[in-house]
Homo-oligomer: A and B are copies of this chain.
């Protein structure tokens, strides 16, 4: 998506350790009028599918998932990273390793919100090595639900998670795929096929 690539080039910052900071519009401050255009694009790409709910994971997937859900007119379900004292005990759970925070989180979804036959559209802000997405897919499988689609805002193509999922035949759409980035020069190369 050309508009998103331009936004990344204009507002993104490359940091050491393959970090692409886009916290001015995506995951600390959320530029909602801009994010609405991304939500509309997900609807253009997946609007023909039957989607019962949108699934994401806390924290930074929630904003884009909620805005996207306004176009699909469906609920959002977000997987939770910690089990507070009032967390439901009857949950699906999986382990997800976070490179950003260098720790493994137990991630949960209350069983009554994800059931056999539900068709879910998975939405997240980033896809890198694919750990978070594999965790969500694991819980979708546990529930006997179906994947209607996977919509990612920014895929870091050079970390391989997206291509692994494509090789499995999963219906993955990334609105921008970064194939290379250089923290020294600030140069970012995008994969052309994400521009359709």
Contact = CB atoms under 8 A, between A and B. Distances in A.
Interface of A: 15, 17, 19, 21, 23-25, 28-33, 35-36, 53, 58-59, 62-63, 65-67, 69-70, 73-78, 80, 82, 84-86, 88, 98, 100-102, 109-110, 112-113
A35 B63 CA distance: 13
Among the interface residues A33, A58, A78, A86, which one has the most CB atoms of the partner chain B within 10 A?
Answer: A86
A26 B109 CA distance: 14
Chain A interface mostly:
mixed
A59 B108 CA distance: 14
B62 A113 contact: no
19 contacts: A21-B86, A24-B113, A25-B75, A28-B77, A28-B80, A29-B77, A29-B110, A30-B75, A32-B73, A32-B75, A33-B74, A36-B70, A58-B58, A59-B59, A59-B78, A59-B80, A63-B66, A63-B76, A85-B101
